[in-house]
Every structure is written in C-alpha cells, then in structure tokens.
Amino acid sequence: MAQISLTFPDGNAREYDAGVTPAEVAASISKSLSKKAISATVNGAHWDLQWPIDDNAQVAIHTLSDADQALELIRHDCAHIMARAVQDIWPDVKVTIGPVIANGFYYDFDRAEPFTPEDLGAIEKKMREIIALRDPVRTEVWARDRAIQHYKDSDEPYKVELIEAIPGDEPLRMYWHGDWQDLCRGPHLQHTGQVPADGFKLMSVAGAYWRGDSDRQMLQRIYGVAFANKGDLKKHLTMLEEAAKRDHRKLGREMDLFHFEDVAPGSIFWHPAGWRMFQSLIAYMRRRQDAAGYVEVNSPDIMDKSLWETSGHWQNYRENMFLAETQDDREYALKPMNCPGHMMIYNHGVRSYRDLPMKIAEFGKVHRYEPSGALHGLLRVRSFTQDDAHIYCTPEQLADECLKVNDLILSIYRDFGFEDVHVKLSTRPENRIGTEESWDRSEAALQTALETAGMSYSIFEGEGAFYGPKLEYVLRDAIGRDWQCGTLQVDSNLPERFKSTYVTPEGDRQAPVMLHRALFGSLERFTGILIENWAGKLPFWLAPRQVVVASIISDANDYVHDVVNALKAAGIQAEADIRNEKINYKVREHSLAKVPIILAVGEREVTDRTVTVRRLGEKQTSVTSLDEIVSELQKAATPPDLL
C-alpha cells in the first residue's frame, strides 16, 4: 500500500497508508484525542473523521474546543437528530433538508398535521434520548441509482427529487446513526453523544416552501438554536430577550410615537413625539444634502398611467401599485417611486453639460401595495418616505459621483453612531438591457468608489437590477444585527425611456448617466432601526421628547412654566407636568417613557431659580441654575452636523 505523508499544525509530519482516515490518525496520536476528535481539516477542507485521505496533506484534528468546526457540526448533527426524533415519533413524516444557519439549524418536514408547541417539547425530549444513546455516526458512498432506489423504496419523494436535481452522476454520501439514515454532504460528528444535550433548544415552527419556490408545496420548518454548552445557549436566549425588549413596535406604543389601524394596513399614524423625531431626521438630511450640492424638489403623488408605462413600472409592478379611480376616463396611480417625476423635471427644458452633475432630491412619499405577509411595523410598510435623489451626470463624472455618494453615506451613518458598515455590490444579471461597455463602466465606477474609500464589500454576481448594477449599504446595530439601508444604483434605462439628453460642449445631444441613491432608504424604516438600536433611549438631539419639567408642589407650577418657556426659547422640546401627583409618580412615568431629562422643581428651586436634574438611567440627581441647564441642553440638542 502506498505511503502518504501528513503534516500537522505543529509542523511535524508522519507517514500513513494511503486511505487512512482522520479517526485512525487521531488514534495513532493518542487515545484521548481519538475519543475527543470531532472532525478534521484536510488541506483546508472540513473533513469527516471517516473520510479517507489519499494523498499527502496538511491535517488538523478538531475537538469540541475548536469553536468554528464544533458549532457547525453540533448544529448540523442537531438537525439530523431532530429529523430522526420526528420520524421516531411520527414515522410517516417525510424528510427534506436541514441545513445549519446562524446560531442554529432547521429541518423542513412534510406532515399533514401541524406541529404544535407541545410537539416541540416531545421532539426535544426524544432528541436528548438519541444523544444519550451515543450512537456512532456511520457513512458510506453510494451510487446514484442505488440511492434513488433506496428513497423510492422508503417512500421519501423529496430525497428522490433532491438527488435527481444533483447534476452529473457523481456518487452520493449517505449517513446513519442508529437505524436512521439521511442523504448528506457531511461532515458529521463521531457519535450522537458529542452533541451537548443542554446546548440546544427548539424555537419555533413555521411554513416554508419546498425548494424556496412559492409555487410548490408548503412544508413545516422547525427552527432550533444550538451552542457548545448551556452557558452559550443561555447567552443567546438572553440576547433574544434583549432584542424583544427593543422591538420598535413595543417601544413605539410605550413611548407614544405611532400606531396602526385596521383601516390602513401598513400605513403609519404618527403621534406628535414620533413625528418630531421623524422631522428631525428629515431636517438633518436636508442640511446634509444641501451642503453636498443637491437641490430639493417635489413631484406629484398621483400621476397618469401613461407615465408609469413610459417608466416601465406599469409592466413590471402593476400588481403592487395603488390605483386611483376618478370620474374622468383617465387611470392614475400613486407613485411607487420618485424617479419618473424627477425625469419630468430633468426633461423640462434643455440641459447643458454645464448643468451637470445635477442632483435632484425629494423626500417623496411612495406607496407600494406590499404583500400582506411582508408588513412589519415601521420596517416594512405600504407607504413610506424616501430620502431619494437622482444624480444626472456625464459618463466622465460617474466614478467621482459614486465616490461622493459613498463618502456622504459613511459620514451620515457615523453621525448616528454606525461605524460598522458593509456594502453589497450586485453586478449584471443575465436578463439585462444596455451595452456591455455601459455595464463595464457602471460596475467599474461602483467598484472603484468602494476600493478608493477602502470599504469592506462583497460581490453578488448577477444580482443587479436589469437596468444597472447597485450598491447596498448594510449597517450593524448596537446588538450586532445587520440592517440594509442605503442604496446606490446606476441606471441606463430611464434616461433612454424618457429620451433625456444634455447638450455637450460640441453642441451634440447625449444621454446623461443617472444614479439613484437613498441614504436612510425609507425614513420610516430608519426611524424604527434607530429606536431598536438605542432601545428607545435616543441621543438627546433626536429624542422624541427631550425634557419634562415636573412640579413637586403646586406652588411651583408658575415656575414650571417659566422653565419650560426658557427651554423652548432655546429651541429645546420641553413640556410641563403640573399634575396633582407626587414626584415619585411623575419620575416613574417619564422614565418609563424614556424622556432623557426630568427637571423637578419644588420650593427650593423656586426660591433659588434652579432646577433639580434627573437624567434617564441615573438615580443621582443634581441641582443646576436655570441658565446653566438651558445652555447645556441647547448644546445637547444640536444635531451632530451643526456642532
């Protein structure tokens, strides 16, 4: 038998027979390693302990203390153990697929009756029994035909379909533990007992389409989370609780920011405090765009169908547009996008190369009939306000304009405390319009902007819009969640459809290049993200309510109004609370409403012209003169771009 040389992480090499498995290698090193081993890395590939190694290789044996490999295997084995548990309890359930996902795993099943929350408990119990069996995991490579026949015999139609969808006739890998068997790429753990019995939890069951296709069978998906130990699981569950506490729908109610009604699903009723915050965002963005050379416009909300036919929206998105019925014979639609309106503004009159770049911005409210199941608080609504702008420029200006947008986005996100920003670059899809040269130019402009700015980005091949490539800006919030907000898209479609031109220095007419960009994206959505990011405790300049001045005794009520007036005169949002309640009561109520500053005034403060300051989250109070607190809060109320 041929000899091969395996090199270990410490640099030492040893000779083995070709076809040796990592399990045998581990055994040759030590008995304890052989017991603890879970998998290996062979020449960079994650390798099952049972897979043979045929050539010289770099080999590392993993144990449960190698977090990356361990978590992947624990989660993957959990999915299989769950499927086995389900088929143990309900033998007629059909299995499909069960991959590893962030923090855990899922498995999709086909079963006529729905799984109930009680069922999840029973499945968990059965899983722990399987783990306790410490069943060895076994794997074999089967010919494709044999595998198909096997699944036909065992009446697992989904597995048959999966195999038939795998191209070529490469052999397939089968796995077993106990009598239970699944088709799987692997790798897997050594035995079921390596899954920590107290490190996983089944979370929920929900519908999911077979193969992600909404035209196909709806399956039942059971989600679970799994970690290396009980402590990590608990940490994760605590994080979920923390996220639930930050839910902007809950905070929106508690802080009295907005609400929804059945008569307008997906549309927001903004209350005074929420609307103030919303308007602060618009005011901020208006200043930033003004400074960056944008001009603001406003285009009609309802326009004739013919405009939407010209833009192409009618053909592509008619199902998702709100239509307006009127007494005349014309058909109108509520705008789902601002761009066609901006095209009309651009096209009104003759544009010269001297006018470019022309940056048209609008805080336009767009309406889209989103599928009912997609609606979610402020994050996915049917009518929302975009901080939308379109940049018309020459091909030569394109790269520079992309860079400018990128810089503006980053600078703005930084003002909101978002430093961790990732970009997704989506390139030309199969189904597209425009010349290869214009795609080359557009993609290069976006990529160059990212490179020049030193951005972290990933490329999504073929994911671009049919009219041009796009960037999507993803920011990470205070508890590590990612939110897609800004977007920058190059468009060679609309200028053509609307026959837009500019006069070149030579006196010719040429089509401008057009950029679509939104920085917050949807103002409504961004507001929701900010609420969740700050858990409702927004920075003072953005806080929906800033100051409550509360009287301790009714004799201080007049002075309360003096203080409120002084604050208001300084541009601070202040309210009086002179209700016939004790100060404890007032402090509790305003603290729960997350008002950042409570100023309490009683007999002493009236006499001394002072206030007692209580800051949200602090128990300690301090006494300050009225003048001092006004100037301090005035500074705190200044938006970051005006500091």
Partner RNA sequence: GCUGCUGUAGCUCAGAGGUAGAGCACUCCCUUGGUAAGGGAGAGGUCGAGAGUUCAAUUCUCUCCAGCAGCACCA
Extract the tokens encoding 215: 């035209």
d(CA 285, CA 594): 25
Query: Restricting to residues 607-636, which ones interact with RNA according to CB under 7 A?
Result: 612, 614, 616-617, 619, 621
From the candidates 75, 150, 367, 516, give the one annotated as an active-site residue: 516
The correct pick among 79, 86, 389, 598 for binding RNA (CB under 7 A) is: 598
Residues in contact with 629: Cβ distance below 8 Å, sequence separation at least 6, in sequence order: 599, 611, 613
Please name the amino acid found at residue 250.
K
Catalytic residue flag (residue 368): yes
Please indicate whether residue 441 is annotated as part of the active site: no
Using CB under 7 A, which of 68, 242, 508, 555 touches RNA?
Answer: 555
Q: Which of 135, 388, 477, 491 is catalytic?
A: 388
Strands 13-17 and 3-7: antiparallel
Residue 461 contacts RNA per CB under 7 A: no
Single residue of 465, 535, 566, 636 touching RNA by CB under 7 A: 465
Does 471 engage in binding with RNA (CB under 7 A)? Answer: no
How many residues touch RNA under the rule CB under 7 A: the total is 69
Among 212, 454, 480, 505, indicate the residue that binds RNA (CB under 7 A). Answer: 212
Taking CB under 7 A as the rule, which mask of x and - marks residues 316-355 in contact with RNA? Answer: xx--xx--------------xx------------------
Q: SS3 letters for 325-392? A: CCCCCCCEEECCCCHHHHHHHHHCCCCEHHHCCEEEEECCEEECCCCHHHCECCCECCEEEEEEEEEE
Identity of the residue, 87 or 551, whose beta carbon is nearer to RNA in the bound complex: 551
Least distance from RNA to the Cβ atom of residue 382, Å: 9
Closest distance of CB 489 from RNA, Å: 7
Does 480 interact with RNA (rule: CB under 7 A)? no
Residues forming a β-bridge with 183: 174
Catalytic residue status for 516 = yes
DSSP structure class, residue 394: -
Contacts by residues 257-263 (CB-CB < 8 Å, ≥ 24 positions apart): 257/531, 257/544, 258/378
Is the dihedral angle over the CA atoms 596, 601, 605, 606 positive or is it negative? positive
String marking each residue 375-404 x if it binds RNA according to CB under 7 A: xxx--x------------------------
For 185, residues 6+ apart whose C-beta sits below 8 A from its C-beta are 173
Distance CA 95, CA 409 (A): 46
Q: Contact at 8 Å (CB) between 546 and 597?
A: yes
Query: Among residues 28, 478, 585, 628, which is the contact residue for RNA, using CB under 7 A?
Result: 585
Q: How far is CA 381 from CA 265, 267, 528, in A?
A: 8, 6, 11
| Member of 310, 452, 591, 624 binding RNA (CB under 7 A) | 591
The answer to the question of residue 372 lying near RNA (CB under 7 A) is: yes
Give the residue from 77, 325, 66 showing the smallest Cα distance to 191.
77
Give yes or no for residue 482 binding RNA (CB under 7 A). Answer: no
Judged by CB under 7 A, which of 588, 609, 625, 638 binds RNA?
588
Q: Is 146 in the site for RNA (CB under 7 A)?
A: no
Least Å distance, CB 220 to RNA, is 6
| Sequence-ordered list of residues with C-beta below 8 angstroms from that of 272, at least 6 positions apart, any chain | none
| 295 contacts RNA (rule: CB under 7 A) | no
Q: Does 481 bind RNA (CB under 7 A)?
A: no
Listed residue (30, 53, 33) closest to 43, CA to CA:
53
Tally of CB atoms within 10 A around 75: 25
CB 494 within 8 A of CB 311: yes
339 is a catalytic site residue: yes
By CB under 7 A, tell whether 552 contacts RNA. yes
Minimum CB–partner distance for residue 458 and RNA (Å): 17
Looking at residue 44, the DSSP 8-state letter turns out to be T
User: Does the annotation count 388 as an active-site position?
Assistant: yes
Is residue 170 within 8 A of residue 144, CB to CB? The reply is yes
Nearer to RNA, 263 or 642 (CB): 263
> Using the rule CB under 7 A, is 313 a contact of RNA?
yes
- Taking every pair of Cα atoms in the chain, the longest distance, rounded to a whole number of angstroms, is 100
In whole angstroms, what is the distance from residue 422 CA to residue 410 CA? 10
Residues that bind RNA (CB under 7 A): 114, 204-209, 212-214, 218, 220-221, 223, 249, 253, 260, 262, 265-266, 313, 316-317, 320-321, 336-337, 368-377, 380, 465, 489, 516, 551-555, 580-585, 587-588, 591-592, 598, 600-605, 612, 614, 616-617, 619, 621
